[in-house]
Amino acid sequence: MVWRVFRFFLFQLCGCLMGYWLLALPNPLHGLIIGLVAASALWVAIDLRRVVQLLRWLKDADQTRPLRLHGLWAEVATRASRLLRQQETRAHDSERRLQEFLSAIQASPNGVVLLDAVGRIEWCNETAADHFGFDPKRDLQQHIGNLVREPAFLGYQAAGDFTHDVLMPGPRSTATRPVRLAVHLHEYGEGRRLLLSRDVTVLEQAEAMRRDFVANVSHEIRTPLTVLAGFIETLQNLPLSAAERERYLALMSQQAQRMQTLVSDLLTLSKLEGSPPPRADEWISMQRLVSQSEQEGRELSATIAAPGHTWRVVNTGPTELAGTYSELLSAAGNLVSNAVRYTPASGMIEVAWQALPDGRAEFSVKDSGSGIAPEHLPRLTERFYRVDRSRSRDTGGTGLGLAIVKHVAQRHGAELRIDSVPGEGSRFAIVFPAGRIRARPEATEHVLSARRA
């Protein structure tokens, strides 16, 4: 700066001297003044030219182009360029952070809608667009009340009490596939609002299932408890003969056994849902499982369906299945038990284990009972669902058997298939994947030895 002041005064001195020497005027002082004014004008013109160059350079989008300036204006250009670069860096950082923030909101499982002071949509993520049926581009600046016409939401918005959620059906909700949304408004800034939405369909369905489950369990336990309480009161207050006492005790034992079976099935379901998946390297003999499930079925048949049933067993060879024996026996036993309970005495029950052409294998139980109407088939594996409630209770069923079968099948990567024709009988099959099936090692060795011989 000192050098610039020195140059300025030196420039003025040179102008004065040139005016004094070059201008032949009567008064030499006039020459000095004219030279001083001319030098000042020239200095200002040169500075203005440099300022114009600097302004053009600052307006230029490509500021990496070199600027030919010196002295003070070169320093101004350098500092201005540095400030511009810092501002651009901050702007880029802010834009990057904004995009990262928006990307995080886009990845959120909750819907997010930004509303201005009059309720127009400023921005929304894809989840909110899916929840409310918005078009993220077309519906910007549209009033939220014109797009979400659900009365529950409009009343919630008009009331101005945003301390709680409001539940509403989604725009794509149908009777067969309901969609429930929990919506919450939050105020921020100067009159702006943040609209959050959550899909609570699964939570509401789980809560409904929990309520139904508790109600069903309570009902199932209350019935035998009522019977037991009645018999106990009878035994305590009435004089009974030995035969009557024997009969009442037998009925009480039956109801107690029913409650024990119910609790056992509930514990089995709880264990299945909470235990780790079955191992794929633990092999069990299917011949043994088929034989044991058939034996249990025959014992049940002799107890509740005298003179019993006609049995047929199909086994296509010594094979092994990767899985947990106790779980698979429970599933097979439930299928056989259901066949016994719903097949009239002397009816046919077939228990089969056979390979399929694609390498898979299936365990199936077929009966000649009354069959099941088609409208009941989709719900058979629901807990406590019964086609004939009175008959199931009379035979000691709990309504949990097929739910256990379904859980066991899913845990082993298998598929439960149900085929039934009213009046002709039913067939239940668990189809296991090929990766869980193998021939028994000793059977393979026996075949190889026979071939060598």
Residue 414 and residue 294 share a domain: yes
Kindly report which listed range (35-44, 174-183, 396-405) carries the lowest average pLDDT score.
Answer: 35-44
Residue 153 and residue 261 share a domain: no
Residue 407 and residue 288 share a domain: yes
Count of domains in the chain? 4
Listed residues 89, 120, 146: the one ending a domain: 89
Structure tokens belonging to residue 63: 């500021």
Listed residues 89, 123, 140: the one ending a domain: 89
| b/e burial code for range 258-280 (CB count within 10 A of at least 16 → b) | bbeebeebbebbeebeeeeebee
The CATH number given to whatever domain includes residue 117 is: 3.30.450.20
Residue 444 has pLDDT above 50, yes or no: no
Residue 302 and residue 417 share a domain: yes
The CATH number given to whatever domain includes residue 405 is: 3.30.565.10
Residue 413 and residue 289 share a domain: yes
Residue 425 and residue 288 share a domain: yes
Residue 184 and residue 46 share a domain: no
The C-alpha torsion from 387 through 388 and 391 to 397, rounded to 10°, is 30
Residue 385 and residue 257 share a domain: no
| Sequence-ordered list of residues with C-beta below 8 angstroms from that of 415, at least 6 positions apart, any chain | 409, 430, 431
Looking from the CA of 361 toward its CB, the CA atoms found within 13 Å total 22
How far is it, in rounded angstroms, from Cα 401 to Cα 293?
Answer: 14
Listed residues 246, 274, 302: the one ending a domain: 274
How far is it, in rounded angstroms, from Cα 243 to Cα 405?
Answer: 40
Query: 73 pLDDT band (50/70/90 cuts)?
Result: low
How far is it, in rounded angstroms, from Cα 453 to Cα 444?
Answer: 14
**pTM across the whole model:** 0.56
Residue 63 and residue 15 share a domain: yes
E strand or H helix at 313, and its extent? strand 310-315
E strand or H helix at 6, and its extent? helix 2-22
Sign of the C-alpha dihedral computed for residues 155, 156, 158 and 161 taken in this order: positive
| pLDDT tens readout for residues 345-403 | 889 999 999 989 988 999 999 999 888 888 888 888 888 777 765 555 555 567 788 99
How far is it, in rounded angstroms, from Cα 438 to Cα 230?
Answer: 55
Domain span at residue 184 reads 108-199
